[in-house]
Structure 1
């Protein structure tokens, strides 16, 4: 694959970083578009999305610093600017902080919670799908070894250096598996938006379906982290939480005013 998109002298522009930036812009545009369809204030949804994005990014970096405080004190600029966050626990911690910040903003400005979640679901699906393609290009979140003909073999040294990807081994392309699942889910969500009768239906469907996909896809990941009792991983625990949250949104639903 191509972990490096461009090279300017000693400065490398990673493909993953560029695609993540594209994913964020696309998700923001989708959120504003969906807000208009659901009769929500696009400016508030824009602000909410920015709060979520920046809290997740800065929160993950803060947790990284706290976990590796001695390294930060020795190399502060390296820790803040150059090091790649590979720990899913740290990334999930940043996402949790972002969720708390977003819920606080939703309540403070009086946005309807369930309909706002419906608005954000397609945007999140689109952003995650594009990010998965970036991970595929970089070799991040690589799959388990396979003998299937559609397996991918990474040969670029930067994939091993930046993401710890095994080179010369045929691997499950788990990132495209996830991207395809998310694009299909995005199409379903957009179709459902025009037909929904209850606030929370779209968000509940996204959370439950993505939780199921995330749970089973994790068995094909070669870098599973925090595996408990040799069976369930931290990612699968998160997936179960997403499924429960999705099911909760289907309960006590109120008819949509749209």
Structure 2
């Protein structure tokens, strides 16, 4: 069923900022030298800008632009904008990645952190994005690859159940929103890139009561929360049912709640 874009809550998203930032750091660790001495870097789906700002640590002279289509996220990201200590600059602007097309050869690095799962048909965008890279430039991204995990399966099953289907059927992110690693490798290599694709499963130890619900409340649950936003009673009832399912699927231990989280990474270097 058609849905409106989810409304994002930067404060909720940043409640687990440390865990969410780690995969971005792991991704950047596999990105090699960039062709420009003052590289141009595009961050697709920059969110609140906290990890975008770390790009200036790796490339101090870089001219970095973060793109997002959430007014709430861009409002938070604005606090990071401006000149960087290394002589570069950090800016943020509105863009919808479903139709974002870079200028030919304009970028040394196009990077995306946990965003492409929200972009239907993102494989079809790769040719234009690679065309937007300078020779020797890099496309690097990571996406969650855990749509078969209980937090997503239970959400979809609940939304498709008799109580909620009329309002939430098809609203949670689809199970096929991310492809298998081999699909990304084949597509990127077929476009002439030297491609490196891998997966990592993190065992996040989360603090607090209903920690997995708190985590997903900043990401995967946003479409359902947005769809029920005009009906607080229904929203609270859905969240309560989902919370009870998560408590069983992710029992709390004395040291915290363990959330296994598999992520898929890809680094593709364009020919010189």
Q: Normalised by the size of structure 2, how large is the TM-score?
A: 0.28
Higher RCO (CA < 8 A, seq sep 6+): 2
Structure ranking higher in strand proportion: 2
Q: Normalised by the size of structure 1, how large is the TM-score?
A: 0.29
